[in-house]
Amino acid sequence: MAECCISNKRYTYIHDNKWGSEAADMHHIVVRKSRTKGFLVYLSALLVLANAFHLFLVKDGSIAITFWTFGLNVVLVKLLLQKPVEKESVIVMPAFGVQLETHYASGKIIRRFVPIDRILKPVLLECVTPVTCYWSLSFIVRGEAKLMLVFKELRPPVKMLVPIWKALCAATGSEGSLDTLTDDGPTPGT
Amino acid sequence: MAERRRHRILMVSDFFYPNFGGVENHIYYLSQCLLKLGHKVVVMTHAYGNRSGVRYMTGGLKVYYVPWKPFLMQNTLPTFYGTLPIIRNILIRENISLVHGHQAFSTLCHEALMHARTMGYKVVFTDHSLYGFADVGSIHMNKVLQFTLADVSQAICVSHTSKENTVLRSGLPPAKVFVIPNAVDTAMFKPAPERPSVNEIVIVVISRLVYRKGADLLVEVIPEVCRIFPNVRFIVGGDGPKRVRLEEMREKHSLQDRVEMLGAVPHARVRSVLISGHIFLNSSLTEAFCIAILEAASCGLLTVSTRVLPDDMVVLAEPDPSDMVQAIKKAISILPEINAQAMHNRMKKLYNWHDVAKRTEIVYDRALKCANQSLLERLSRYLSCGAWAGKLFCVVMIIDFLFWRLLQLWQPAEDIEAVPDIVLSHGEDERNVAELKVSSEDHGLR
């Protein structure tokens, strides 16, 4: 019943091992709720609405502006505060395969199952975008040209990805160390 | 002797492999030699087609191919502040101590140096080319260079000519500029074990067939030399927009059997082409430093060149067809006295990448000793760049500083995880196996 936990500002990693690693090993990344962000968004929405009422009541503005402002506020609050993803889980069953789950705040759960013999190797890769660089955990899948992302929506930090990667390596039988680097150019002569 | 410090260097340029050229080679070889000296080197460039993301090259050289699309002549689109987030990210995650930019014509280099200075890193710039002063393009380029170099820690030029040119263009104090010549991989460029027979003299030309490399001069020189010397043959390697003119020249003078056009020659095959000849002809109009001549000399060829590099293994000529023909005549006459192996041995001692790396290390040590400066002190340097330009540069740097502060609030440095150092060890079966050397402070997991 081993449980271990790492957390940072955005995510919490929970390792649930209640049935023992041979049967099923569960790793969860849970999104933490941020109170300050919610407070700021509601405050600004309130201020905008108050301003619209002030325009209508004191300065004889049209009621349509107030309704539009209200509507806009609802849309913005929904966009900024709605946390679609609540949790993403990886359930490792060495005998069968790996189940990847995404739990949404609305209650919807999306599950993907990958049989163990289809996974060639789990890899930790650095992904570079025009504005940032982050670590991601993926599977090299037999017969597929593209890698399969383990965490589709979330970007947990590498200190949370490393134990999951090690558990996946152990389950799929791959070596848990960095792969060989291929020679990509000549070395200058001495 | 002072203890050598381990530097963590970020090389930035728009020009890197898989693109091929002098700057690319320079960055690669310098990085390899610095890695051998024990420093950490990371290269940053833009993505080339599908090649995007992180790649590792020989010796554990990590290359970031950042997915910014090139817009003109391999250069990234200059957005002034667009590259600040990714550069900050790379500098923090790789724990960089010094940023080394290459080539004045690279927009990514200028942006990286600007952002690195804003964030307080020490910066070194290497200029590889010569530029003019007269045309509109050069004037703008020189102003940009003046901006970047106003606040650089140290600068490196590849020759004294290049130093003169850079100092004049940018107004940088000459005391800040070091001259470190390029080198050549003498292990790769060895003379042929048996010299080709002197009955038929073969003149080799390998260069990009563009205006700057003097392809137009070749069009005039080749028919003249073929007319005067019936036993001379030309081998022309390389491709470019001027190739059409050379083909036309061949047709016009019926020189198909005396002038062989090889097309683009991959760098791995350059040596085999060089050793089939006796004389190397270089007709560049301008070069800060001509590696092609060194490669030819390392292979034991006598070189005829326009006045780009003073050297006693070279017969010099003005960039004028008749003068070049005279120089070729002189070269043919001294050809029997040339000892290829002796030339190669001299080159090996004189031009050596390990020597370049050691000298660059001295520049890095000097750069890191420069005092840290506050924003106000740095702004005063920019103000001296010109009446209007100075104020504009100051505004640009202030906005950059504000963006940086905003970015620090949006994405604090603690959220950017440091990358573990890669330690390469050679396995028994000659394959390099990398081990992750994870320091216990960064990752407390085992």
Residues A103 and A55 in one domain: no
pLDDT band of A177, cuts 50, 70, 90: low
pLDDT band of B148, cuts 50, 70, 90: confident
Q: ∠ CA(B69), CA(B20), CA(B12), 5° rounding?
A: 55
The two structure tokens encoding residue B20: 């091929």
Q: Which of B74, B136, B66, B79 is nearest to B103 (CA)?
A: B74
User: Residue B187: CB partners within 8 Å, gap ≥ 6?
Assistant: A188, A189, A190
- Bridge partners (DSSP) listed for residue B436: B422
Residues A23 and A45 in one domain: no
3-state secondary structure of A9: coil
Residues B325 and B396 in one domain: no
Residues A153 and A173 in one domain: yes
> What is the least distance, in Å, from the CA of A113 to any CA of chain B?
28
CB count, 10 Å around CB of A95?
9
The two structure tokens encoding residue B254: 């019926």
Looking at residue B30, what is its pLDDT?
95
The Cα–Cα gap between B291 and B186 comes to: 12
Between A54-58, A132-136, B212-216, B381-385, the lowest mean confidence (pLDDT) is in A54-58
| C-alpha Rg value of chain A to the nearest Å | 24
Looking at residue B438, what is its pLDDT?
39
Residue B213 has pLDDT above 80, yes or no: yes
Among A47, A81, A115, which residue terminates a domain? A81
Residues B25 and B43 in one domain: yes
In a domain, B440, yes or no: no
Give burial (CB, 10 Å; 0-12/13-18/19+) of B300. Answer: buried
Q: Which domain holds residue A171?
A: 2-32+83-188
Q: ∠ CA(B55), CA(B57), CA(B63), 5° rounding?
A: 45
Judged by CB atoms closer than 8 Å, whether chains meet at A178 and B17 is answered as no
> What is the least distance, in Å, from the CA of A189 to any CA of chain B?
5
Q: Which domain holds residue B42?
A: 8-183+354-415
Mean per-residue pLDDT, B134-150? 84
Residues A162 and A151 in one domain: yes
Mean per-residue pLDDT, B134-163? 86
Q: Which residue has the higher pLDDT, B82 or A23?
A: B82
Give burial (CB, 10 Å; 0-12/13-18/19+) of A75. Answer: exposed
pLDDT band of B436, cuts 50, 70, 90: very low
In a domain, B445, yes or no: no
The Cα–Cα gap between B127 and B19 comes to: 18
Among A23, A49, A81, which residue terminates a domain? A81
Residues A177 and A95 in one domain: yes
Residues B340 and B373 in one domain: no
- Bridge partners (DSSP) listed for residue B57: B61
User: Which chain A residues are closer than 8 Å to B53 by Cβ?
Assistant: 125-128
Give B207-275 as a DSSP string. S--SGGGTHHHHHHHHHHHHHH-TTEEEEEE--STTHHHHHHHHHHHT-TTTEEEEES--HHHHHHHHT
- Amino acid, res. B269: R
Helix runs in B96-159, H state only: 107-118, 136-149
Q: What does the mean pLDDT of chain A come to?
A: 82
A–B: how many Cβ contacts below 8 A?
A: 94
The Cα–Cα gap between B221 and B245 comes to: 13
Residues B60 and B167 in one domain: yes
Residues A74 and A146 in one domain: no
Give percent above pLDDT 90 in chain B.
Answer: 41
Looking at residue B426, what is its pLDDT?
53
Nearest by CB to residue A131, choosing from B57, B86, B187, is B86
In a domain, B391, yes or no: yes
How far are the Cα atoms of A117, A165, B225 from residue A174, in angstroms, in the given order?
A: 12, 10, 66
The Cα–Cα gap between B162 and B136 comes to: 20
Mean per-residue pLDDT, B263-278? 89
Residue A181 has pLDDT above 60, yes or no: no
Specify the number of domains making up chain A: 2
Give burial (CB, 10 Å; 0-12/13-18/19+) of B336. Answer: exposed
CB count, 10 Å around CB of B108?
27
Among B299, B321, B350, which residue terminates a domain? B350
Residues B177 and B210 in one domain: no
Q: Which of B365, B356, B424 is nearest to B29 (CA)?
A: B356
CA nearest to B65 within chain A? A128
B302-340 pLDDT tens trace: 888 887 544 556 788 888 889 889 989 988 888 887 788
Among B350, B377, B401, which residue terminates a domain? B350
| C-alpha Rg value of chain B to the nearest Å | 24
In a domain, B189, yes or no: no
The Cα–Cα gap between B335 and B343 comes to: 13
Residue A37 has pLDDT above 80, yes or no: no
CB count, 10 Å around CB of B289?
20
CA nearest to A128 within chain B? B53
Q: What does the mean pLDDT of chain B come to?
A: 85
The Cα–Cα gap between B101 and B79 comes to: 18
CA nearest to B52 within chain A? A128
CB count, 10 Å around CB of B262?
15
Residues B26 and B112 in one domain: yes
Nearest by CB to residue A159, choosing from B53, B67, B443, is B443
Residues A149 and A74 in one domain: no
User: Which chain B residues are closer than 8 Å to A133 by Cβ?
Assistant: 54, 64, 86, 89-90, 93
Mean per-residue pLDDT, B207-225? 88
CA B340 to the chain's CA centroid? 27
Judged by CB atoms closer than 8 Å, whether chains meet at A126 and B55 is answered as no
User: Residue B397: CB partners within 8 Å, gap ≥ 6?
Assistant: B114, B118, B375, B378, B379, B382
Bridge-based pairing of strands B8-12 and B40-46 is parallel
The Cα–Cα gap between B417 and B161 comes to: 44
> What is the least distance, in Å, from the CA of A122 to any CA of chain B?
16
Residues B32 and B117 in one domain: yes
User: Which chain A residues are closer than 8 Å to B291 by Cβ?
Assistant: none
Residues B261 and B397 in one domain: no
Residues B107 and B154 in one domain: yes
Among A60, A81, A102, which residue terminates a domain? A81
Residues B162 and B19 in one domain: yes
A65-101 pLDDT tens trace: 778 888 888 888 777 666 678 899 999 998 899 999 9
Residues A41 and A57 in one domain: yes
Residues A48 and A133 in one domain: no
Q: What is the pTM of this model?
A: 0.81
User: Which chain A residues are closer than 8 Å to B432 by Cβ?
Assistant: 180-181, 183
- Using the structure block, give the residue that is written with the tokens 């990371």: B42
Dihedral angle at the C-alpha atoms of B384, B385, B386, B387, nearest 10 degrees?
A: -50
Query: Which CATH number belongs to the domain containing residue B290 in this structure?
Result: 3.40.50.2000
Looking at residue A183, what is its pLDDT?
41
Residues B279 and B308 in one domain: yes
Residues A67 and A123 in one domain: no
Specify the number of domains making up chain B: 2
Looking at residue B312, what is its pLDDT?
59
Looking at residue A182, what is its pLDDT?
39
Residues A88 and A147 in one domain: yes
Residues B342 and B374 in one domain: no
Among B350, B373, B403, which residue terminates a domain? B350
How far are the Cα atoms of A66, A167, B10, B98, B425 from residue B437, in angstroms, in the given order?
A: 61, 20, 20, 22, 11
Residues A61 and A121 in one domain: no
> What is the least distance, in Å, from the CA of A62 to any CA of chain B?
38
